[in-house]
Amino acid sequence: MKKILLLLALAGAAAPLPRLCAADTPFVRDLASPAPADSQGSNLAAAPDGTLHLTYTAPSPTAGERALFLATLAPGAAAWSAPRLVVSSPLLMENWADFASLCVGTDGALIAQWFLRIPGSTAMHGYNGWFARSTDGGASWTKPAALGEEFVALAPLSGGRTLAVWLARVGAAHAGHGGHGASGKRDPASPAAPAMKLLARLLAPDGSSLGDWTVDPDVCTCCQNTVAVLPGDRVFVSYRGHTPDEVRDNKYAVFNSAAGTWSQPATLRDDAWKIAACPVNGPAADARGSALAVAWFTAAEGQPRVFARYAAAGDKSLQPPLRLDLGRPLGRLETVVLDDHSALFLWLEIATAEKAAGLYARRLGPDGTLSAARLVADTVQARASGFPRAAQRPTGRVVVSFTQAGTPNQVRTLELDPAAFSLP
């Protein structure tokens, strides 16, 4: 982790970034958040009918517990619905990088996943995943069932099925891999044995398994996985890989649910980022029809950068990588493929003021042209600011959620106009 911080500090010597002021950002408006003070870990999911679903954790109605809540933004609505309780527990695990999520099944059901600490465990990885399903819009939920260990991602498929992918531990903890940014100690002359693997399960509507797979037996220890559903019930899955010599480049594989098979994992770009610690900075992908976009962070050669690749509708392969950042990126990415098949990317950049950062966005056209980057909101470099999440409304506008770090933290929601990111 010290190495990561040093790289970011060096990146801070770049030219100053533009600052946010109201007169400069008419394309952004505040959308009153349903989340109270002391909330964090937001996530967004769009339903087929255009309803947006926002999840976050906050104080529970039950004393001594924390809870996962759900609020919705219906098509045409000007405000979020009243929040509904998904789960409450004194063991609810809240982490700046590994947080709960939800997807809307093709049958209209909601599938929510979250994490609970293992009672008595003091280990950094001492928690496991759980999920439940709702067929009445979140008014009631099935009995929670175990699902995965860490960094679970959900993809809705036909017939109410759901593909879940997650990181799972390989035997005992391995020194040198750390967790959530911890560097650990390891003999640099010795190969680094796998500490985590990427697993997948295809869930039936009743939650039973229709198949289990090991997608990659050796992956980075604590970076998010990302999924994007493609036509034909195929799923693009991207994640940060790992090799015995500690190269942690971003990879992808495609799941074919009809055949129950996975493509051979491939790298998004051979960045050759060799680092003996997890950067806690996974890729972000999205798709609309067969248009696909994915972005990732690297600090190979001591230079933090954010890259993206895009596949236009009908294309069978991804276009060459394009650089997105402005010179001092923290990463923490989000990707939304818009209804015109352009892609909107969001990420954090270090700002000039001490500990400050900016949430930036830019748009990529199907022809490979990039808009200028624009500042969406001020934020901070602290882990507490988390990862932005975004989804498009039927109006074409994009809703963004993120944690406004403070005392206390609070989930904030914004709405922006992607048309303001004009393409050349």
The reported pLDDT for the residue numbered 171 is 77
Locate the domains of the chain by residue range: 1-31+283-424
Sheet harboring 374-380: ordered strands across? 329-337, 343-350, 356-364, 374-380
* Residue count (the chain): 424
CA 71 from chain centre, in angstroms, equals: 19
The DSSP annotation for 80-101 comes to PPPPEEEEEETTB---SSS--E
- At residue 173 the predicted structure's pLDDT band, cuts being 50, 70 and 90, is very low
Is pLDDT of 319 > 50? yes
If pLDDT is split at 50, 70 and 90, which confidence band does 189 have?
low
Written as one letter, the residue type at 65 is E
pLDDT in tens, 193-227: 999 999 999 999 999 999 999 999 999 999 999 99
Mean pLDDT across the stretch 347-352? Answer: 96
pTM score: 0.91
| Residue of higher predicted confidence among 25 and 364 | 364
| pLDDT tens, position by position, 113-133 | 999 999 987 776 789 999 999
- What is the share, in percent, of the chain residues with pLDDT greater than 70? 89
Query: In this prediction, what percent of the chain has a pLDDT beyond 90?
Result: 86
On the question of pLDDT at 185 being above 80, the answer is: no
Cis peptide bond upstream of 408, omega within 30: yes
Q: Mean pLDDT over all residues of the chain? A: 91
CB count within 10 Å of CB 13 equals: 8
Segment among 168-172, 374-378, 381-385 with least mean pLDDT: 168-172
Among 160, 19, 25, 139, which Cα is nearest to 81's? 139
Question: Three-state SS string across 256-274, please?
Answer: ECCCCEECCCEECCCCCCE
pLDDT single digits (tens) 59-115: 999 999 999 999 999 999 999 999 999 999 999 999 999 999 999 999 999 999 999
Mean pLDDT of 307-326: 95
Average the pLDDT over 235-244 and give the result: 98
Q: Nearest 5 degrees, angle CA 97-CA 324-CA 100?
A: 20
C-alpha R_g of the chain: 20
5 band by pLDDT with thresholds 50, 70 and 90: very low
